[in-house]
């Protein structure tokens, strides 16, 4: 049993009231850890520590090169502990070892990317009237509150922490109460590489308590949040009171458009990967597949044939291709949506049930599920289910494909499969979404900005834009001829 602790001002801490909550392995319902049930007082202690460290300049006062050297060491340590982190991620989140392993590798690469980026040229000068020399520099925002969800416990933490630290901020970080295990391991690494006290603080506990305190406290300058759109809206409202900078990466209902001229097997293969990797608990999941009508029946038949063969099981079995859902609560939400789909009159082409055989009855497993005969206005087409549930829709032509694709409140991601290059790019350019692929689905790169249009969020993670999110912009105008301005005569 792992006994988790919070990390505040360089010290490992229990919750102020000593309360804990169990952390559960979703593959079998067993308790794997106890996490402190942090309170408002704990959140405040972390915020004050981060504020003090920021004001003292123990981190922002270092040169970019010095900060980068810490980040390179962190990347190295993540790789050193890769096996342990992979195992822990699988136990805590449920994802297959293969997926967890990719996340750990990506986490190390992300630290390295921002370690490199922060030492590169930054800011610019501009020409104004003599005798002024003018320039623009970037500075850290200050104390950043980072709140992450449970679908990529380690990687989502790193997507925020690496650029925030690279930019010279101090942080108050909150993992999801459901998956705090690998985030704590990451903070152990921070301690091991000797990150100065108070620079990186971690509080655990309930979102409406600890998360809300971080979003509302006046000593926090910025909130960067990834999670559900409803929670994101609440955080934005709360943060508005103290005019915090806000960066939100929220949900999606992303379209994957398959034209008849696409390479058929490639399109089927990526469509399966787009929805069933991560058990569909991926913000960019291709949860709406739109297929041109003259290949629709053939596509559905082949997709269903392959979906039925996906090996569902515990993540720590190397033969498993799809793991459980993250929690009992989330299982109920996904099963609830399957019921809603049936009641709305959609037809199930495969799946639709919790899996209770093959020793999986103690875990939160759901069959890969396909809905057909759906209408655009149905809730299962419009709302984020965040599970292994896909709707397959039919379209007649390019125009209808774009209309259906853009026909939700979300705008996170989208894919197009076609062998007509011009058509692929034409359609992608019409998608109101921030992350897109042609003849591919899902790959993510540290170099490329990640985030959504419409109600999928505000701002971007990753890439140079992801660093700028954690920076303020300052103009500096220097008078090279020091004499009175002479505006007033007396
Ligand atoms: P949430 O968006 O509610 O949770 C994400 C994080 O926000 C968690 O750390 C959570 O804390 C915290 N949080 C919750 N409420 C508040 C608050 N009032 N103020 C500050 N922080 C808060 O995700 P859920 O787990 O509730 O999932 C709900 C739905 O959101 C999912 O079904 C899915 O549709 C979507 N989702 C989308 C994700 C994405 O990547 N886009 C990721 C996860 C979920 P706590 O630990 O208490 O939960």
What span, in angstroms and rounded, lies between the C-alpha atoms of 417 and 468?
Answer: 33
Which residue's alpha carbon is nearest to atom 20 within ligand 1?
Answer: 211
Distance 133 CA to ligand 1 centre (A): 47
Beta-strand relationship, 255-258 and 413-417: parallel
pTM: 0.97
Question: Which positions ≥6 away from 54 have C-beta within 8 Å?
Answer: 60, 140, 142, 143, 169, 170
Distance 137 CA to ligand 1 centre (A): 34
Tokens matching residue 441: 């689905």
Q: For the chain, which residues score pLDDT lower than 50?
A: none
Question: Catalytic annotation on 383?
Answer: no
Q: Which long-range contacts (CB under 8 A, 24 or more apart) does 19-26 make?
A: 21/177, 23/92, 23/178, 23/179, 23/180, 23/181, 24/327, 24/328, 25/91, 25/92, 25/94, 26/93, 26/94, 26/323, 26/324, 26/325, 26/326, 26/327, 26/363, 26/364
What span, in angstroms and rounded, lies between the C-alpha atoms of 3 and 33?
Answer: 6
**Which ligand 1 atom is at minimum distance from the Cα of 326?**
25
Question: Of 249, 292, 367, 469, which one is the catalytic site residue?
Answer: 249
Of the candidates 237, 141, 245, 216, the one whose C-alpha atom is nearest the C-alpha of residue 459 is: 245
What span, in angstroms and rounded, lies between the C-alpha atoms of 165 and 199?
Answer: 8
Distance 429 CA to ligand 1 centre (A): 30
For helices 64-80 and 97-117, the axis angle rounded to 10 degrees is 160
Which residues lie with the beta carbon below 6 Å from any ligand 1 atom? 147-151, 174, 176-177, 206-208, 211-212, 215, 226-228, 231, 234-235, 250-251, 283, 333, 384, 386
Cβ atoms 424, 263 nearer than 8 A: no
Q: Which residue has the tokens 């890769």?
A: 82
- The pick from 46, 149, 208, 334 for probing ligand 1's pocket by mutation, whose C-beta has the most ligand atoms within 8 angstroms, reads 149
Q: What is the pLDDT of residue 179?
A: 98
**Which ligand 1 atom is at minimum distance from the Cα of 235?**
19
Q: What sign does the dihedral 111-112-115-118 (CA atoms) show? A: negative
**Which ligand 1 atom is at minimum distance from the Cα of 250?**
41
Question: Catalytic annotation on 283?
Answer: yes
- The pick from 227, 239, 248, 379 for probing ligand 1's pocket by mutation, whose C-beta has the most ligand atoms within 8 angstroms, reads 227
Which residue's alpha carbon is nearest to atom 26 within ligand 1?
Answer: 228
Which residue's alpha carbon is nearest to atom 35 within ligand 1?
Answer: 228
What span, in angstroms and rounded, lies between the C-alpha atoms of 477 and 134?
Answer: 4
Question: Of 283, 384, 398, 469, which one is the catalytic site residue?
Answer: 283
- Span between the terminal Cα atoms of the chain, in Å: 78
Of the candidates 384, 269, 392, 369, the one whose C-alpha atom is nearest the C-alpha of residue 312 is: 369
Beta-strand relationship, 31-36 and 132-140: unpaired
């Amino acid at each position: 049993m792992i006994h988790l602790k919070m990390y505040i001002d360089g010290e490992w801490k229990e919750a102020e009231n000593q309360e804990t909550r169990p952390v559960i392995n979703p593959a079998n319902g067993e308790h794997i850890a106890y996490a402190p049930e942090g309170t408002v007082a704990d959140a405040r202690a972390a915020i004050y520590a981060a504020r003090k460290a920021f004001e003292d300049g123990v981190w922002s006062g270092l040169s970019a090169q010095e900060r980068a050297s810490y980040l390179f060491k962190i990347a190295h340590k993540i790789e050193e502990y890769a096996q342990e982190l992979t195992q822990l991620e699988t136990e805590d989140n449920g994802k297959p070892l293969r997926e967890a392993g990719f996340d750990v590798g990506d986490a190390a690469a992300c630290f390295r990317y921002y370690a490199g980026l922060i030492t590169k040229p930054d800011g610019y000068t501009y020409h104004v009237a003599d005798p002024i020399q003018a320039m623009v520099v970037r500075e850290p925002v200050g104390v950043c509150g980072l709140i992450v969800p449970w679908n990529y416990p380690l990687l989502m933490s790193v997507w925020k922490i690496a650029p925030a630290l690279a930019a010279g901020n101090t942080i108050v970080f909150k993992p999801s109460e459901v998956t705090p295990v690998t985030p704590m391991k990451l903070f152990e690494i921070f301690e091991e590489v000797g990150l100065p006290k108070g620079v990186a603080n971690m509080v655990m506990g309930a979102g409406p308590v600890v998360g809300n305190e971080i979003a509302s406290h006046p000593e926090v300058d910025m909130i960067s949040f990834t999670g559900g759109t409803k929670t994101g809206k609440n955080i934005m409202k709360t943060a508005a009171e103290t005019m915090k900078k806000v960066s939100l990466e929220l949900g999606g209902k992303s379209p994957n458009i398959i034209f008849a001229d696409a390479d058929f097997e490639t399109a089927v293969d990526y469509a399966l990967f787009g929805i069933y990797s991560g058990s569909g608990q991926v913000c960019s999941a291709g949860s709406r597949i739109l297929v041109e009508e003259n290949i629709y029946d053939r596509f559905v038949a082949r997709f269903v044939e392959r979906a039925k063969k996906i090996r569902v099981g515990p993540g720590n079995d190397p033969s498993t291709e799809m793991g459980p859902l993250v929690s009992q609560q989330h299982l109920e939400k996904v099963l609830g949506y399957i019921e809603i789909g049936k009641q709305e009159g959609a037809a199930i082409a495969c799946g639709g049930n919790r899996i209770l055989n093959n020793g999986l009855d103690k875990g939160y497993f759901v069959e890969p599920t396909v809905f057909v005969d759906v209408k655009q206005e149905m809730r299962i087409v419009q709302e984020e289910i965040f599970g292994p549930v896909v709707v397959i829709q039919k379209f007649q032509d390019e125009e209808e494909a774009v209309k259906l694709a853009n026909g939700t409140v979300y705008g996170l991601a989208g894919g197009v499969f076609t062998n007509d290059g011009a058509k692929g790019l034409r359609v992608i350019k019409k998608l109101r979404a921030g992350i897109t692929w042609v003849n591919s689905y899902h790959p993510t790169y540290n170099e490329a900005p990640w985030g959504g249009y419409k109600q999928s969020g505000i701002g971007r993670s990753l890439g140079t834009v992801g660093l700028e999110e954690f920076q303020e912009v300052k103009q500096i105008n220097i008078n090279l001829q020091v004499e009175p301005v002479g505006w007033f005569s007396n």
